[in-house]
Amino acid sequence: MQQQTSFQAYSPSQAQPGVQTSGGKIRIGHRRTQRQTRLFFAAAAVLFLVCLSLLDLSWEQFRSGIAGLPDIMSKVMTISFHAFPALLDGMVTSLIIAFLTVVISVVLSILLSFLIAENITPFKWAGRALRVVLLVIRTVPTTIWVLLAVASMGFGSMAGVLGLIFPTSSYLIKSFAAQIEESGDDTIEAMRAVGASWLQIVFKGLLPNLLLSFLAIISFRFEMEVAETVMLGMVGAGGIGVLLQDYISYYEFADLAMGIIIVFVTIFAVELISNRVRSRLARR
Amino acid sequence: MSQVVSPHTEQRQKKAKRMVSLALLAGALAFSIWYVKFDMVEFISGIPLFLNFLFTDFLPPNFANMDSYLRPVLDTLIFAVVGTFISSLLGLVIAFLMARNTAPHPAVRIALRGVVSFVRNVPFLVWASLLVVIFGVGAMPGLFSLLVFGTCFLARVYAESIEELDKEATEALEASGATYGQIIKHAIIPQFMPGYFSWTLFMFEINIRASAILGLVGAGGIGSNLKQSLDLFQYSRASMIIVILIVLILAVEFLTQRIRERIL
Amino acid sequence: MTTILQVEGLVKSYAGGTLALKGIDLTVEAGEFIAVIGPSGAGKSTLLRCINRLIEPTEGTVAFLGEVMNSKSKGSLRRWRSQIGMIFQHYNLVNRSSVLENVLHGRLGYMSPLAGVFSRYSEEDKLAAIALLHKVGLENEVFKRADELSGGQKQRVGISRAIMQEPQLILADEPIASLDPKSSAVVMDTIYENCRERGIACLVNLHQVEVAKKYATRIVGIKGGAKVFDGAPEELTEEMIYNIYQGKEHEMHAQAAGE
């Protein structure tokens, strides 16, 4: 199939020093790009094999799990409407926890983000210190925050909101501040030139300009928050997760199936709506 | 929109619109507070109590028995590595089957999209908990839930970045008579590599956090120790575990960031 | 003289009823260097893409070397395409691959599918590709990555890739529309010389009339999806030019570097 090219022969002796051969064949790829790719995969493969050898999985456990699977699947398939009202109530509660968390966090974050943004902060050092605190807060997984709040306040949706406020505010403050730093420079310069005070710059200049991009960030976070509220119910902080965890522990798989469907539909709808909101905001 | 409106009425409309949105927000807030019986006073007084709880009961961390955390930390890392590695391979195959510009058949694309979106939109702790029931407590359900969730997450983001690649190189290879396989190998894959690297590294970051909380539902790793110490009110042990977690996660993020900067 | 390409009654309509091509007839003989001129949106690009079936025409036939092309058989479509080189306005290189790899992509159409996937280019092909790159003045760029090159250099890589196919016909779609005047001259010279030397017929879309007149052996004018002129460059009167570009006069001299 391969057809020979009829161009005048180009003898390797004419080759430039840049032509590299390997086993008598001319290398054709870009060296650095190829090397990086190979290094990445080689490192990943070595790491994977080392971890795999350290992993102790019992085949017995796997086999018995797979053996029990058809039974569980058949139970899951008999979706029951019996728990529908309770699940709906749980889902609404989860959504409300997410909503309240975002509202409270937005209020906190708008104030603090102006303290953190390098180009408008009145106290540079306080802002930097706060940045470090926020980084630590963000690093602790959300579910663990909720667990701590539950340990302090007891089970229920208030513990959920309390626990979620920390990572949520931390995320929002960082994103808002990034937005201020990215697009606030012109406004700040212009308003400083006419002698506006710090408060005037923030409330008359920056906030109205940045409102739309803040809304986009908020809608994105709300989307994440709903998934988080479902999970945090599973550690006892109210909402549909509590029910899901119960159904799982009591082997009520038919009710669980209904719950999973409700969660899927809700999160799907929230994602759809918040995407719609963001694309409309982007057009404005 | 095309109508000519005087600046005055336009401003008034804008103001009215803003009032309506604010009223809606207030209504939603009122309903929410009523529905979950949210007690503002108790909540606000709970904040100092919570902070007090964090600072007095948790600090200082208990540095005793450090070596008892070694195995759970290692397990957490191992889950993340094994989970990310396998799901990046599975996700890649699924992504090529479901990206608009590389899917062999629209039916395959739509079916895979459905499955992936279903798995991805149900929070992963639900899957983990369900797998604990199927396989019993231990490492297996944890690893499997990371695998299932990670594969679907990566399939979707890989597919999106494949769809966003510019069509120009593909067009040129198509015009020179290259086959479907040749186009994927020579035009799609080289251009997709940066996206592949950065999404895979991002997945690894997610998986470290995820595998740290898996233990909360009995699926192995450092989370089990955390749950246990909280249940037994051993708060200084719990804070030690959290400190270890923070160090672990920051170290991983530092590392992935370095790799990201190097690879372009 | 052998007829390379015979286009008859080519029509392309898009969903919604837009007619991009309204029945174009065109014959390309061996060794011809034909410039297709016309304002943007006239259908020049659609015409070229209908010839190698990147766009499926609605009606009409395209005969290449006496064979009527269709998209039914993937094997024959591949064979036809491998014998027709194409040069693009935006170069269409694989940016993260080396220059040499990009040129070798021109051989893929002749290789077995699997050999192509695994980059098993013959040593003769590699040497030929390097020689070609030397010839177009890119001897120092052979092992660079395509995204390290300037626009003019990228286009010369694109030309080398097309030549590497050893085609009977080259289709060039606005090859200089994204280039500055100096690079444009180099790129046009490169296309012209290579086609002449190897006896490749060339169909090049241009919107600059001066460039078309300088190189073309024949000029085809397209306006609103229909052929309004077909003749020697000397026959192209000022009047005709104004007719072709009516309403879009500013485009005919534009060196539109930033387009």
- Of B39, B58, B77, the residue that ends a domain is B58
Average pLDDT over residues A36-52: 90
- C contacts of B193 (beta carbons < 8 Å): 96
Determine, for residues C126 and A28 on separate chains, whether the beta-carbon distance falls below 8 Å.
yes
State the nearest Cα–Cα gap between C8 and chain B, in angstroms. 21
Categorize the per-residue pLDDT at B143 as very low, low, confident or very high, splitting at 50, 70 and 90.
confident
Q: How many CA atoms lie within 13 A of C157 on its CB side?
A: 33
Cβ atoms of residues A167 and A227 within 8 Å: no
Is A16 a domain residue?
no
Categorize the per-residue pLDDT at C89 as very low, low, confident or very high, splitting at 50, 70 and 90.
very high
Is A75 a domain residue?
no
Residue among C83, C91, C94 minimizing CB distance to B190? C94
> In the prediction, which pLDDT does C258 show?
35
Q: Is B7 on the interface with C (CB under 8 A)?
A: no
Whether pLDDT at C257 is above 60: no
Categorize the per-residue pLDDT at C164 as very low, low, confident or very high, splitting at 50, 70 and 90.
very high
Q: Is B165 on the interface with A (CB under 8 A)?
A: no
CATH code, A190: 1.10.3720.10
Q: Is B181 on the interface with C (CB under 8 A)?
A: yes
Cβ atoms of residues C27 and C6 within 8 Å: yes
State the nearest Cα–Cα gap between C88 and chain A, in angstroms. 23
Is B86 a domain residue?
yes
> In the prediction, which pLDDT does C1 show?
61
Determine, for residues A162 and B50 on separate chains, whether the beta-carbon distance falls below 8 Å.
yes
- Spell out the SS3 assignment of chain A: CCCCCCCCCCCHHHCCCCCCEECCEECCCCHHHHHHHHHHHHHHHHHHHHHHHHCCCCHHHHHHHHHHHHHHHHHHHCCCCCCHHHHHHHHHHHHHHHHHHHHHHHHHHHHHHHHHCCCCCCCHHHHHHHHHHHHHHHHCCHHHHHHHHHHHHCCCHHHHHHHHHHHHHHHHHHHHHHHHHHHCHHHHHHHHHCCCCHHHHHHHHHHHHHHHHHHHHHHHHHHHHHHHHHHHHCCCCCCHHHHHHHHHHCCCHHHHHHHHHHHHHHHHHHHHHHHHHHHHHHHC
Cβ atoms of residues A170 and B52 within 8 Å: no
Whether pLDDT at B66 is above 50: yes
Categorize the per-residue pLDDT at B100 as very low, low, confident or very high, splitting at 50, 70 and 90.
confident
Note whether A36 and A115 are same-domain residues. Answer: no
Query: Model pTM greater than 0.95?
Result: no
Whether pLDDT at C159 is above 90: yes
Determine, for residues A19 and C142 on separate chains, whether the beta-carbon distance falls below 8 Å.
yes
Note whether A50 and A141 are same-domain residues. Answer: no
Whether pLDDT at A119 is above 50: yes
Is B1 a domain residue?
no
Is B63 a domain residue?
no
Q: Chain A interface, mutation test: which of B81, B191, B260, most A Cβ atoms within 10 Å?
A: B81
> In the prediction, which pLDDT does B94 show?
93
Note whether B26 and B157 are same-domain residues. Answer: no
Residue among B172, B182, B190 minimizing CB distance to C86? B172
Report d(CA C206, CA C89) in Å as an integer: 10
Determine, for residues C116 and B190 on separate chains, whether the beta-carbon distance falls below 8 Å.
no
- B contacts of A96 (beta carbons < 8 Å): 32, 35-36
Whether pLDDT at C191 is above 60: yes
Whether pLDDT at A9 is above 60: no
Determine, for residues C113 and B186 on separate chains, whether the beta-carbon distance falls below 8 Å.
no
| Closest C-alpha among B136, B211, B215 to residue A234 | B215
**DSSP per position, C171-238:** EEESTTTTS-HHHHHHHHHHHHHHHHHHT-EEEEEES-HHHHHHH-SEEEEEETTEEEEEE-GGG--H
Note whether B238 and B141 are same-domain residues. Answer: yes
Q: How many CA atoms lie within 13 A of C68 on its CB side?
A: 6
Cβ atoms of residues B162 and B187 within 8 Å: no
Q: How many CB pairs lie under 8 A apart between chains A and B?
A: 163
> In the prediction, which pLDDT does A5 show?
45
pLDDT in tens, B220-255: 778 888 888 888 888 888 888 888 889 999 999 999
How many other CB atoms are found less than 10 A from the CB of residue C195? 25
- Domain C3-251 = CATH 3.40.50.300: yes
Average pLDDT over residues A145-149: 87
> Which chain C residue lies closest to A7 (C-alpha atoms)?
C128
- The CA distances from residue A90 to A158, A245, A274, B229, in Å, are 14, 12, 21, 28
Determine, for residues A228 and B123 on separate chains, whether the beta-carbon distance falls below 8 Å.
yes
> In the prediction, which pLDDT does C202 show?
93
Determine, for residues C131 and A8 on separate chains, whether the beta-carbon distance falls below 8 Å.
yes
End-to-end Cα separation, chain C, in angstroms: 38
> Which chain B residue lies closest to C81 (C-alpha atoms)?
B177
Whether pLDDT at B6 is above 70: no
Categorize the per-residue pLDDT at A2 as very low, low, confident or very high, splitting at 50, 70 and 90.
very low
Determine, for residues B168 and C116 on separate chains, whether the beta-carbon distance falls below 8 Å.
no
Whether pLDDT at A12 is above 60: no
> Which chain A residue lies closest to C115 (C-alpha atoms)?
A2
CB burial of C24-63 (b: ≥16 within 10 Å; e: otherwise) equals bebebeeebbbbbbbbeebbbbbbbbbbbbbbebeebebe
pLDDT in tens, C21-71: 888 899 999 889 999 998 888 888 999 999 988 888 888 888 888 888 877
**Structural domains in chain A (count):** 2
Report d(CA B124, CA A164) in Å as an integer: 18
- A contacts of B38 (beta carbons < 8 Å): 100, 157-158, 161
| Closest C-alpha among C79, C16, C5 to residue C48 | C5
- Look over chain C and give the mean of its residue pLDDT values, rounded to a whole number: 87
Cβ atoms of residues C84 and C7 within 8 Å: no
pLDDT in tens, B188-199: 999 999 899 999
> In the prediction, which pLDDT does B264 show?
62
Is A15 a domain residue?
no
Q: Chain B interface, mutation test: which of A33, A55, A58, A136, most B Cβ atoms within 10 Å?
A: A55
Structure tokens at A233: 């119910």
> In the prediction, which pLDDT does B222 show?
82
Q: Residue C68, by phi and psi: left (phi above 0), alpha (psi -120 to 50) or beta?
A: beta
Phi and psi at residue B245, to the nearest 5°: -60, -45
> In the prediction, which pLDDT does B242 show?
87
> Which chain A residue lies closest to B204 (C-alpha atoms)?
A44
Percent of chain B with pLDDT over 90: 27
Cβ atoms of residues C160 and C129 within 8 Å: yes
CB neighbour list of residue B262: distance below 8 Å, 6 or more residues apart? A36
> In the prediction, which pLDDT does A167 show?
92
Query: Tokens 């037994």, residue?
Result: B232
Is B135 a domain residue?
yes
> Which chain A residue lies closest to B49 (C-alpha atoms)?
A152
Determine, for residues B177 and C88 on separate chains, whether the beta-carbon distance falls below 8 Å.
no
From A4-13, B67-76, B87-96, the region with the lowest mean pLDDT: A4-13
Note whether A43 and A171 are same-domain residues. Answer: no
Average pLDDT over residues C220-240: 88
Note whether B134 and B24 are same-domain residues. Answer: no
Percent of chain B with pLDDT over 70: 97
Note whether B74 and B200 are same-domain residues. Answer: yes
Whether pLDDT at A1 is above 60: no
- B contacts of C92 (beta carbons < 8 Å): 168-169, 171-172
Note whether B159 and B223 are same-domain residues. Answer: yes
Average pLDDT over residues B65-73: 80
Note whether A184 and A244 are same-domain residues. Answer: yes
Residue among A65, A92, A141 minimizing CB distance to B134? A65
Categorize the per-residue pLDDT at A11 as very low, low, confident or very high, splitting at 50, 70 and 90.
very low
Note whether B25 and B75 are same-domain residues. Answer: no
> In the prediction, which pLDDT does A23 show?
65
Note whether A111 and A161 are same-domain residues. Answer: yes
Average pLDDT over residues B2-25: 75
**Structural domains in chain B (count):** 2
State the nearest Cα–Cα gap between B206 and chain A, in angstroms. 10
> In the prediction, which pLDDT does B3 show?
52
> In the prediction, which pLDDT does A4 show?
44
Residue type, C256: A
ipTM of the complex: 0.88
From A243-247, B147-151, C96-100, the region with the lowest mean pLDDT: A243-247
Bigger pLDDT: A23 vs C210: C210
Report d(CA B30, CA B35) in Å as an integer: 9
Query: Tokens 């499926």, residue?
Result: C56
End-to-end Cα separation, chain A, in angstroms: 57
Whether pLDDT at B210 is above 60: yes
Note whether A187 and A127 are same-domain residues. Answer: yes
CATH code, B176: 1.10.3720.10
| Closest C-alpha among C253, C162, C257 to residue C212 | C253
Domain that holds residue B24: 7-58
Note whether A140 and A253 are same-domain residues. Answer: yes
Note whether A121 and A228 are same-domain residues. Answer: yes
Note whether A38 and A175 are same-domain residues. Answer: no
> Which chain A residue lies closest to C116 (C-alpha atoms)?
A2
Average pLDDT over residues C235-259: 70
Paired residues of C13 in beta bridges: C19
Query: Tokens 């900067």, residue?
Result: B261
pLDDT in tens, A158-209: 888 888 999 999 999 989 888 888 877 777 777 777 777 777 777 777 777 7
Per-domain boundaries in chain C: 3-251
CB burial of B68-81 (b: ≥16 within 10 Å; e: otherwise) equals ebeebbebbbbbbb
Determine, for residues B121 and A147 on separate chains, whether the beta-carbon distance falls below 8 Å.
no
Note whether A175 and A258 are same-domain residues. Answer: yes
> In the prediction, which pLDDT does C218 show?
92
Bigger pLDDT: A281 vs C191: C191
Q: Is B171 on the interface with C (CB under 8 A)?
A: yes
Phi and psi at residue C25, to the nearest 5°: -115, 135
> In the prediction, which pLDDT does C225 show?
87
Whether pLDDT at A7 is above 70: no
Structure tokens at B196: 């592949």
Categorize the per-residue pLDDT at C254 as very low, low, confident or very high, splitting at 50, 70 and 90.
low
Quick one: which H or E segment has residue C100? helix C99-104
Cβ atoms of residues A28 and C101 within 8 Å: yes
Q: Is B264 on the interface with C (CB under 8 A)?
A: no
Cβ atoms of residues B177 and C109 within 8 Å: yes
Average pLDDT over residues B129-136: 83
From A14-18, A25-29, A120-124, C185-189, the region with the lowest mean pLDDT: A14-18
> In the prediction, which pLDDT does A10 show?
46
Residue among C104, C115, C142 minimizing CB distance to A2? C115
Domain that holds residue A47: 21-54
Q: How many CA atoms lie within 13 A of B208 on its CB side?
A: 23
Categorize the per-residue pLDDT at A260 as very low, low, confident or very high, splitting at 50, 70 and 90.
confident
